[in-house]
Amino acid sequence: MTTPTHPTLTAKQTQAERLSELIAQAVMQGDFAPGARLDEVHLAQHFGVSRTPVREALRHLATSGLIDLRPRRGAVVPARPHLDLQTMIAALAEMEATCARLSAEHMTVTEQHFLASVHDRMAALAQTGDADGYAQADNAFHAALHAGAHNLVIADVTASMRRRFAPLRAGQWQDQAYRARCLADHGAVLRAITARDAAAAHAAMLQHIGSAEPAAA
Amino acid sequence: MTTPTHPTLTAKQTQAERLSELIAQAVMQGDFAPGARLDEVHLAQHFGVSRTPVREALRHLATSGLIDLRPRRGAVVPARPHLDLQTMIAALAEMEATCARLSAEHMTVTEQHFLASVHDRMAALAQTGDADGYAQADNAFHAALHAGAHNLVIADVTASMRRRFAPLRAGQWQDQAYRARCLADHGAVLRAITARDAAAAHAAMLQHIGSAEPAAA
DNA sequence: GATGATTTGTACGTATGTATA
DNA sequence: ATATACATACGTACAAATCAT
């Protein structure tokens, strides 16, 4: 009976998801040498699971752009923080910034109030160390902006881009400084939107994603 | 119709990749009803493979955002609300405008010269009634802007959105007034970009697509 | 609300393609 | 260049959870 090395706090997750987050964190922290091969059996043994969930986690991370995965050749962590990853972050930043600008132009007052309430909830959580709740509030904030753009195509594209970064963001919320900066950035975006200042909303969001997302560490 | 069984032609692709493409096509073509469950066993049987590659393909598609995949509950094709033409045009306008802004910021001088040469070619064609050549030049102009954004992700998303309008644009080029307006709009964009005026490039492109594309006629 | 059927998640074995001697 | 070793891709069996009844 292979037992997990340590008790998982969130029991509702699948092993593949857990591993995806763990491996993503490890790669971003530089625990693996750049260019090193991520051996399936080695990882499976290390985490005390079979190769199946490891494979699925690697597929997920490859699609997210964090690792390179070539058929029959296995996974490697790209020598330098993946070039495409930075490109994808920049792309996400542009999409989110567009949503912010459109929100400044098109949001109803009711939607503005809702956005503010989400922000307040996030601020309240800032005191507690509740990383999980914080992540949830962050998603709610951005989702409100996607909706506020009043364009389902743009909202959909942005949301789907954003979803790819979920495993990469997972660990960030543990960092107190990151949480604080995130809250401050959101505040700036919120102010620009309620002031209907499209250019400021755009700029604030661009800066937020550009700096807050896991850049080339 | 998707081919149920393939006579084991072992290309350099893996089964999972093959399936991923097939399923993606099927979903985008609307072969599955929105909200329909994508059963692993069914798909495996349908394509004549085991569940393993099907699972990996579904993971890939879920990460890409094409399908929804919730733990222990399987995959479903998200019920996307009907996207009307105006929304899609507005979305394309935003993407093209973003490319224009990024081009103003990042284009090299060489790229600027190339863009100008494409524009000149288009101007020369304006006199003749060559609708086909004009359409080609228009595509070249926008392609140059996509490239000039220096972000492959954004370029790709924009190009794929644009491609969807090709059939709708086909007839427009017959109209002399449309061709003239299009050329003038491009000129404004070009001037803003060579002046490195990001905001002006953005605005000019937004206006161009918003007015020139086949609006809700 | 409990129970059975169906489906997903995980483990493991086998074969084929890749890399190395 | 041929052969050998090894890692990945795929198939299959079992376990666990969801949903229907």
Specify the CATH number for the domain of residue B21: 1.10.10.10
| Structural domain includes residue B5 | no
Under an 8 Å CB criterion, which residues of A touch B? 12-14, 16-17, 52, 55-56, 59-60, 63-64, 71-72, 84, 87-88, 90-91, 94, 98, 102, 151-154, 156-157, 159-161, 163-164, 199
Domain co-membership, A48 together with A128: no
* Chain B residue set in contact with A, beta carbons under 8 Å: 12-14, 16-17, 52, 55-56, 59-60, 63-66, 71-72, 80-81, 83, 87-88, 90-91, 94, 98, 102, 151-154, 157, 161, 199
Between residues B193 and B27, which one has the greater pLDDT?
A: B193
Sheet holding A37-38, edge to edge: A37-38, A74-76, A68-70
Contact A151 B91 (CB under 8 A): yes
Can you tell me the mean pLDDT for B180-190?
96
pLDDT: is B216 or A25 the higher one? Answer: A25
Domain that residue A67 falls in: 15-76
Q: Give how many domains chain B has, as a whole number.
A: 2
Query: Do both B103 and B67 map to the same domain?
Result: no
State the amino acid at position A131 in one-letter form. Answer: A
From B88, B155, B101, select the one nearest A203 (Cα to Cα).
B101
**pTM, 2 dp:** 0.82
Q: Among B55, B76, B97, give the residue marking a domain's end.
A: B76
Judge residue B127's burial from the number of C-beta atoms within 10 Å of its C-beta, 0-12 exposed, 13-18 middle, 19 or more buried.
exposed
- Domain assignment present for residue B182? The answer is yes
* B166 and B107 fall within a common domain: yes
C-beta atoms of B87 and A153 within 8 A: yes
Query: Closest nt to B17 (CA→C1')?
Result: D9
Distances (CA, A) of A23 to A39, A178, A214, B66: 12, 20, 15, 24
Compute CA A128 distance to the chain's CA centroid, rounded to the nearest angstrom.
Answer: 21
In a domain, A104, yes or no: yes
- Say yes or no to pLDDT of B3 above 80: no
Identify the pLDDT of residue A217. Answer: 42
* Element holding A76 (H helix, E strand): strand A74-76
- Pairs across A and B, CB distance < 8 A: 80
- A3-17, A151-165, B32-46, B158-172: range with lowest mean pLDDT: A3-17
Q: What is the pLDDT of residue A6?
A: 39
Q: Are residues A128 and A174 in the same domain?
A: yes
pLDDT band at B84 (very low <50, low <70, confident <90, very high): confident
Same domain, B200 and B138: yes
Alpha-carbon gap: B173 to the closest alpha carbon of chain A (Å): 26
Closest to B173 in 3D by CA, of B128, B115, B116: B128
Q: How far is the CA of A73 from the C1' of D3 (A)?
A: 20
Q: Are both A55 and A161 inside the same structural domain?
A: no
Contact A151, A98 (CB under 8 A): no
- Among B48, B76, B104, which residue terminates a domain? B76
Please report whether residue A8 resides in a domain: no
What pLDDT does A4 receive? 39
Residues A140 and A153 in one domain: yes
Q: Is B191 exposed, middle or buried (0-12, 13-18, 19+ CB in 10 A)?
A: middle
Task: Band the pLDDT of B171: cuts 50, 70, 90.
Answer: confident
What residues pair up with B37 in beta bridges, in sequence order?
Answer: B76
Residue ranges in chain A modelled with pLDDT below 70: 1-11, 80-83, 212-217
Is residue B70 one of the residues assigned to a domain?
yes
Is B200 found in the same domain as B96?
Answer: yes
pLDDT at B217 over 50: no
Q: Which nucleotides of C are covered by protein (CB under 7 A)?
A: 7-13, 16-19
Domain boundary, last residue among B53, B76, B99: B76
Token duo for residue A193: 């939107």
Mean pLDDT of B45-52: 96
> Do residues B123 and B141 make contact, with C-beta atoms less than 8 angstroms apart?
no
Domain shared by A25 and A85, yes or no:
no
